Chain A
Amino acid sequence: MKKARYLKKQKEKEFIAALGAKARVYAPCLEDEAVLFKPAEPDSTICLSRPAVSSPKSVIYPQSETLFSFRFKKDAEDKRRTLVELDDTIEVPDTIIFGARPCDARGIAIIDRAFSKTDTPDPYYLARREKTTIVTLTCPEPSSGCFCTWVGCGPAETSNSDVMMTEVEDGYLMEALTEKGEALLESPILEDGTPYEAQAREAQKAAHERMVKEAGETDTTPVDPETFDSQAFWEKAAERCLGCGACTYLCPTCYCFNITDETVVDKGERIRSWDACMFHHFTLEASGHNPRAAKALRLKNRIGHKFLYYGEKYDGIIACSGCGRCIRGCPVSMEISTIASALKKNSGTVSGEQ
């Protein structure tokens, strides 16, 4: 299944508008200095030249969502009894993520497993996921902090996307990778892409080579168990961490959540919202005991989940796509790549840090 079409740069807006007639379209939009995935409006400034501050995971997995709403009612027959009315309708429109990066697409694949490969697949997540088409841009240049090739992803990685778009002369080569992607490319705005295929291959190869030069080839060295269990290692690694949730909320692969009932008098909603393992409250138990009361333990869990525990559950896959967002967005520039690298090297410290 390969269908190659060509999108002229001048027609980018027109194409997005045409997509918008069929579905909700989220694209990286410029807001002041920040690039954010937002619903594309006619007056939006689409910015594909640098990665968005946060990943587009919120499109499929919102920061906060209502699982169901409820209302308490007195039983008309027996006033001593209270009945609960529930509304758990899930309504999801067709959605397109335009201009994701390969690391974003991989992030969504990592979240997919957590919500689908379980005894209780998540209907809310899966409903959105099914209705979403992902159009991914080949990353032309590595940004500060990027290290995707080191964790087995890459700037031209096509898996998990429905359409791959690659910058070529005056436009983009749009290649369908799935049926959903093919449907999306049925558009009179697009031209025949065949003449640009060679150019796109060249660009993809070059992008990959540039990234490898920057971050190195995929490192399959396992995490050293002794270093991983060294308290001194984590205390050193975490000492400047402020314990906020910027890393997890900007991360394309983090999927932990919290559930709260928000009730006012006789009605309310059950909310599912993002949670962050770097927060003290994350593992606070009802008894008041907190198994991860110190930030070093919380950092160990965060890195451990990505580089160890996730893989133990899902075929050795690393739950980090190397997008570098946590590094760029951290108020104290914590470097997950350096910490992970130190863990593999069995160096016993994070002295590998620059």
Chain B
Amino acid sequence: MNLEKLKEIVRTVLPSVDVVVGYKKGFDALHPVPCFLTSPEEIDALVLNPACVHNLAAYLPSLKNKAAVVVKGCDSRTVVQLAQEGLIKRENVVVIGVPCQGTVSVRKVLSAINHQPVIGASFENDTLVVKTKKGETRLALHDVLSDKCLTCRYPTPVLSDHLAGEQIEPKTAGKEAYQDIRDFDARSLEERRAYWLKEFDRCIRCYACRNACPLCVCRESCIAETRDPHWMSQRATQNEKMMFHMIHAIHLAGRCTECGECERACPMGIPVAKLKKKINMEMKELFGYEPGISMDDKPPMYTFKVEEEKIEEHKIR
């Protein structure tokens, strides 16, 4: 990731927009945070490294005026999807693409350093060097990448007005993106049910997954909370929690760009992205559609065909 090139681009773009959404340093070196630049003096505070995990496109629908946004490959798909759905105006967004070799899973890093407080971290080529009071740990970047990055098909943004770096080829070419889902699906129904009930048991209904999701657009009208109509109970039972997560997943059918923010945001570490990935797999098989790839596509749930090629229910057999 090329920080100098990014700063150069931001410097040129800034005068033509209200705000540039990028990353700056957070409470420790493993936690850069989203930042909103409005003046050239702030440019030097920009950070860009594999710990820049957030999908900044999530902020776009809430920004009123023209904005520039720093996006990785997966995040760029969100921009496309948002524009297709009319949730943002393409002409209001300057897309600064960042070719990305993968972002780190902070959970994996913390696990590898036995949850010691981090006092420093740096990235050297394919190595992450983490400093704690107990010393330095060198971790192979590949071992601590987010799961979504291990099967990434779009390391270079699919859409960008400026590209901070050279195009990169997916390292995972040929690897099946949905193999993990197929393996999971092979388990028995009872096993899968038990798995999810156990995982959802620790859900605290904080809705971090929902709010971090760039494509969760119901906002204040989310059925999880509305009183009128009163769709869901406020009980903290496994059933209620499971119901909420299923609705979240279903609402993203043919829309989820697999940025993984829902799962990353979960403070309890529940693998909620797995549900969305499963639905994406089904959508791909059924409609041959992958969300957020091309501005010219029409998402399948936004259109209608009298005879769907792979849905046979209307045919008399």
Question: Which chain A residues border B261 with CB–CB below 8 Å?
Answer: 331
Residue pair A242, B235 in contact (C-beta under 8 Å): no
| Segment 206-229 of B: residues with Cβ below 8 Å from A | 206-208, 210-212, 219-220, 225-227
Residue in chain B with minimal CB distance to A64? B236
Contact A244 B210 (CB under 8 A): yes
Report the separation of the CA atoms of residues A33 and B235 in the bound assembly, to the nearest whole angstrom. 26
A73 within 8 A of B: no
Is A333 in contact with B33, judged by CB distance below 8 angstroms?
A: yes
Set of chain B residues within 8 Å of A330, measured between Cβ atoms: 267
Bound together, the chains give a CA A260 to CA B58 distance in angstroms of 31
Q: Which residue of B lies closest to A329 (CB)?
A: B267
B107 at the interface (CB under 8 A from A): yes
Interface members, chain B 100-115 (any A CB < 8 Å)? 107, 110-111, 115
Q: Give, as a whole number of angstroms, the nearest-CB distance from A215 to chain B.
A: 12
Q: Contact: B234 with A260, CB < 8 Å?
A: yes
Residues of chain B contacted by A152 (CB below 8 angstroms): none
Residues of A contacting B107 with CB < 8 Å?
33
**Residue A116 at the B interface, CB < 8 A?**
no
User: B254-307: which residues lie under 8 A (CB-CB) from chain A?
Assistant: 261, 264-265, 267-269
Beta-carbon contacts of B30-51 to A below 8 Å, as 1s and 0s? 0101111000000000000000
Which of A141, A245, A281, A333 is the one whose CB lies under 8 Å from B26? A333
Interface residues of A in 235-264 (CB under 8 A from B): 239-240, 242-246, 248-250, 258, 260, 262
Q: Mark A132-148, 1 if CB is under 8 A from B, else 0.
A: 00000000011111000
- Known contacts A239-B36, A242-B265, A332-B34: does B27 contact A54 (CB below 8 Å)? no
Residues of B within 8 A of A144 (CB): 27-28, 117-118
Partner of B212, one of A242, A273, A274, A284: A242
The answer for the CA separation of A284 and B222 in the assembled complex, in Å, is: 14
| Alpha-carbon distance A331/B230, docked complex (angstroms) | 28
Chain A residues lying within 8 Å of B265, measured Cβ to Cβ, are 242, 244, 246, 331
Which residues of the partner chain B approach A274 to less than 8 Å between Cβ atoms? 204
CA–CA, A250 to B111, complex, Å?
A: 20
Q: B230-262 interface mask toward A, CB cutoff 8 Å, 1 = contact, 0 = none?
A: 100111110000000000000000000000010
Q: Is B205 an interface residue (CB 8 A)?
A: yes
Q: State whether the Cβ of A15 lies closer than 8 Å to any Cβ in chain B.
A: no
Residue A195 lies at the interface, judged by CB distance under 8 Å to chain B: no
Instruction: Render A291-310 as a binary contact track against B, CB cut-off 8 A, 1 for contact.
Output: 00000000000000000000
CA A327 – CA B267 in complex, angstroms?
11
Asked if A14 is an interface residue, CB under 8 A from chain B, the answer is no
Task: Check A331 against B27 for contact (C-beta < 8 Å).
Answer: no
| Residues in B neighbouring A244, C-beta threshold 8 A | 206-208, 210-212, 265
**Complexed CA–CA distance, A187 and B1 (Å):** 59
Contact status B204-A63, CB under 8 Å:
yes
Taking CB atoms, residues of chain A closer than 8 Å to B27 are 144-145, 327, 333, 335, 338, 354
Q: Which residue from A33, A50, A243 sits with its C-beta under 8 Å from B269?
A: A33
Mark interface residues in A50-89 (1 if CB within 8 Å of B CB, else 0).
1001100000001110000000000000000000000000
Q: Assess whether A34 is interfacial by the CB under 8 Å rule.
A: yes
Let me know if A142 and B234 touch, CB within 8 A.
Answer: no
Whether A315 is near chain B, meaning CB under 8 Å from some CB there, is no
Distance, CA A31 to CA B270, complexed state (A): 11
Tell me whether A34 and B33 are in contact (CB under 8 A). no
Cross-chain contact of A333 among B31, B230, B235 (Cβ < 8 A)? B31
A276 to B27, CA, bound (A): 23
Q: Tell me, rounded to whole Å, the shortest Cβ–Cβ distance linking B233 to chain A.
A: 5
In Å, the complex CA distance between A279 and B234 comes to 14
Contact A240 B202, CB 8 Å, known A33-B107, A271-B234, A280-B219:
no
- Any A CB within 8 A of the CB of B138: no
Q: Looking at the assembled complex, report how far the CB atom of A181 sits from the nearest CB atom of chain B, in whole angstroms.
A: 29
Within the complex, which residue of A64, A331, A332 is in contact with B234, where a contact is CB–CB below 8 Å? A64
A10 CB-CB contact with B under 8 Å: no
| Residues on B with beta carbons closer than 8 Å to the beta carbon of A243 | 211
CB of B77 within 8 A of chain A? no
- Tell me the complex Cα distance, A333–B25, Å: 10
Most buried by A among B117, B118, B133, B261: B117
Q: A33-B111, A64-B236, A244-B210 are in contact. Are A280 and B267 (CB under 8 A)?
A: no
> Closest approach, in angstroms, between the C-beta of B105 and any C-beta of chain A?
10
Given that A240-B36, A333-B33, A335-B27 are contacting pairs, would A50 and B115 also be in contact in the complex, using a CB cutoff of 8 Å? yes
| Sample of 19 more A-B contacts, CB < 8 Å, known A260-B234, A331-B267 | A33-B269, A36-B202, A49-B115, A53-B267, A63-B204, A64-B235, A240-B33, A240-B35, A242-B58, A242-B265, A244-B206, A246-B206, A246-B265, A250-B206, A273-B235, A332-B54, A333-B31, A333-B33, A354-B25
Q: B residues engaging A (CB < 8 A)?
A: 25-28, 31, 33-36, 54, 58-59, 107, 110-111, 115, 117-118, 133, 202, 204-208, 210-212, 219-220, 225-227, 230, 233-237, 261, 264-265, 267-269
- 8 shortest interchain CB distances as A-B pairs: A331-B265, A329-B267, A64-B236, A244-B211, A245-B206, A273-B234, A244-B208, A242-B211
